Structure 1
Amino acid sequence: MRAERVESVAVGLERGDGCARWQYARLVPGANENIDFEQATADLDDFGVSLIRLISELLREAHLHVHSLGYRVKGRDSAGRKLARGGAKYAGYLDLTDLLGIRIITYFSDDVDNVAAALVPEFDIDEENSVDKRAALGVDSFGYLSLHYIARLNSVRSQLVEYRRFNGRKFEIQIRSILQHAWAEIEHDLGYKANRALPDEFRRKFSQLAGHLELADSQFINIRDGLGSYAEHVNTQLRGRMHDSLTIDQYTLAAFADDALVVALDRKIADAYHISLARDIDLKYISNRALTFPPVGISDIGTLKRLMLTRYDQIVAFTHEWAQRPDLMVDDPEEISPRGVSFYYALLSVLGSAGDQIGNLVAKLPNRSSWSSREIADVPVTWARVASHVRELSADENEPTERGET
């Protein structure tokens, strides 16, 4: 079987297959010493791209969102220095297990272990050469914190046609948080490694800084978890119809955006512009909307809901007329209306009903500079016209008919 593999690799060599060179060196004793840097790194860029695609999908399936994911092929000088430091440990470039490196940077330090849990079962891990530098660092020391795995494709995946040429090739996976990454980059730039070689004054400063970064990592996790609990509390309050107890912020407004009233009004507004309504809520858009209500006197979800209920017909009528303005006409069929767009039109209803005082209200808004003088003038006029029209229609509907009179 081994002879067959060597023969297969030899055929690849004749074709000029870059990966065949390192496979040949792995199978034939002594061949590694004759592999130069270019041969050792042949097709590693292709392998890196394939791994990034694979790992992205694995993280997506695990519902893990990371700050960045990338790869690098070790440079010639760096590889040469590592060979020289290793002495007899390395017979040649192919003995370096980190010629190809994958780096995953998470937002939170506890996600380092979550990412590892999602990836480790998908690869063959070289436990002997893998290291958790977080555990390796003494409690009285400071320095580089990261989780490093030496890995290769497992037996199942390496037989797939798109990965077959990388079968047996080792690579390194580095996983660390964004704050741990910041430390590593600054440490590298300053050019120090052994913290005990630093003067005491600077060792103390680095220890203080390391403590601050570790505390910051921990506090970011607490904030994330706290906001998650707050969001659950908001949903519980809304299900209990306790709208008046909820101050308007991006979380309460995002939860309220799922209310049947808001969804129905959102659809009416999207229809007025002949565009589709977005499926998902954009928190950035909702956050901007949340900032606009307190300045005009609407501070809780209950007040906002009552406003939208009592002005529902006026807001719909206003939207249809407002959508006819030439500068707002939509001619792109792929244009999407954001979820919660009715919050904007609820704000316009408040501004419109202010009449001549609209300028004072607009001056209180965080985005006041985006309002043109024409809009400030047109909103009250348009609102007064549609509100009057809606009142007339409502009065006509409530008049008794001749058939109903006694």
Structure 2
Amino acid sequence: MKELELPDVKDVLVEYRQMQLLYRSALKEIGTKLEILNDEFKFVHKYNPIEHIESRLKSEESIMRKLLRKGVDVTVENIQKYIDDIAGVRVICSFTPDIYRIVDMISSQDDIEVLKAKDYMINPKPNGYRSYHLIVKVPIFLSDKVIPTKVEIQIRTVAMDFWASLEHKIYYKYEGNAPEYIRTELKECADMIAFLDSKMLAINEEVRSIRQEDSRQ
């Protein structure tokens, strides 16, 4: 892949690296909240909706690429204004209803402000991608001030994450220009993943129904 020729942005990157403390802290804050909510749900309902949680900070190169694609100057102000996913959290669930449970639990937190929500479950992307995306602001308490900081939260099932991870690797090999037949086959795989999710959910609901019936007897 051709290496990006970046403008002289050394001063911007130095200032951005100082800001990374905020984004790392925001990842910790959201991660802790999710773990607590998962523990509470497990205690109350004897079931944990979250399989695991991943977090990452967007690389400096990716940030520069995104700003250049948007056609804006490379400044710290534009990094904060135009890039919502510098800090990213991925929440992997067992079943599709868990996605909406987690969305509701996060959105109901008093100190979390939901800025954007995109439901790719109801409206999948043309390539078949399914997930639920939230852009939120979480307050970061420093020694002398409180700074609301943006975090992107992606929520998807294990099966969806499997497809998305491999689809990304395949597209990376083609530098985003995969042949039409590859795109078609990946879309077919996405549809199979959606069917698999619905099938596993139906099995889980059947097992739960049987257990409830046995407990009444």
TM-score in terms of structure 1 length: 0.43
2:29 is matched with: 50
Contact kept? 2:26, 2:150, Cα under 8 Å: no
Structure 1 pair 162/61, CA: closer, same or farther in 2 (3 Å)? farther
Match of 2:63 among 59, 79, 90: 79
Per-residue deviation, residues 330-353 of structure 1 (Å, max 9, x unmatched): xxxxxxxxxxxxxxxxxxxxxxxx
Per-residue deviation, residues 47-89 of structure 1 (Å, max 9, x unmatched): 3223211221123334443111132111111111112112238
2:199 is matched with: 219
Q: 1:149 is aligned with what amino acid?
A: L
Tell me the CA shift for residue 164 of structure 1. 8.1
Match of 1:102 among 89, 97, 106: 89
Tell me the CA shift for residue 94 of structure 1. 2.2
Higher strand proportion (structure 1 or 2):
2
1:137 is matched with: 124
Cα root mean square deviation, aligned: 3.1
Q: Distance in 1 between matches of 2:75 and 2:169?
A: 30
Structure 1 pair 163/218, CA: closer, same or farther in 2 (3 Å)? farther
Higher helix proportion (structure 1 or 2):
1
Structure 1 pair 224/77, CA: closer, same or farther in 2 (3 Å)? same
SS in 2 for 1:88: coil
Instruction: Give 1 or 2 for the bigger CA radius of gyration.
Output: 1
TM-score in terms of structure 2 length: 0.76
Per-residue deviation, residues 155-182 of structure 1 (Å, max 9, x unmatched): xxx49x6898553111111111111111
Tell me the CA shift for residue 150 of structure 1. 0.9
Match of 1:206 among 186, 195, 213: 186
Match of 2:52 among 52, 68, 77: 68
Contact kept? 2:128, 2:191, Cα under 8 Å: no
Structure 1 pair 85/136, CA: closer, same or farther in 2 (3 Å)? farther
Structure 1 pair 45/69, CA: closer, same or farther in 2 (3 Å)? same
Per-residue deviation, residues 6-45 of structure 1 (Å, max 9, x unmatched): xxxxxxxxxxxxxxxxxxxxxxxxxxx6863312312432
Q: Distance in 2 between matches of 1:89 and 1:218?
A: 45
- Give structure 2 stretches of 5+ with no counterpart: 1-11, 43-47
Bigger RCO (CA 8 Å, 6+ sep): 2
Contact kept? 2:56, 2:89, Cα under 8 Å: yes
Q: 1:209 is aligned with what amino acid?
A: C
- Give structure 1 stretches of 5+ with no counterpart: 1-32, 240-406
Q: Distance in 1 between matches of 2:62 and 2:28?
A: 21
Match of 1:125 among 98, 103, 114: 114
Q: Distance in 2 between matches of 1:199 and 1:109?
A: 31
SS in 1 for 2:50: coil
Match of 2:98 among 89, 111, 121: 111
Correspondence list, 1:128-277, <5 A: 130-137=117-124, 141-153=126-138, 158=139, 167-191=147-171, 198-236=178-216, 239=217
Q: Distance in 1 between matches of 2:143 and 2:130?
A: 31
Q: 2:113 is aligned with what amino acid?
A: D
Contact kept? 2:50, 2:94, Cα under 8 Å: yes
Contact kept? 1:59, 1:118, Cα under 8 Å: no
Contact kept? 2:129, 2:190, Cα under 8 Å: no
Deviates more, 1:203-212 or 1:49-58: 203-212
Contact kept? 2:171, 2:178, Cα under 8 Å: no
Deviates more, 1:205-214 or 1:222-231: 205-214
Percent identity between matched residues is 21
SS in 1 for 2:49: coil
Q: Distance in 1 between matches of 2:169 and 2:155?
A: 20
SS in 2 for 1:148: strand
Tell me the CA shift for residue 91 of structure 1. 4.6
Aligned length: 196
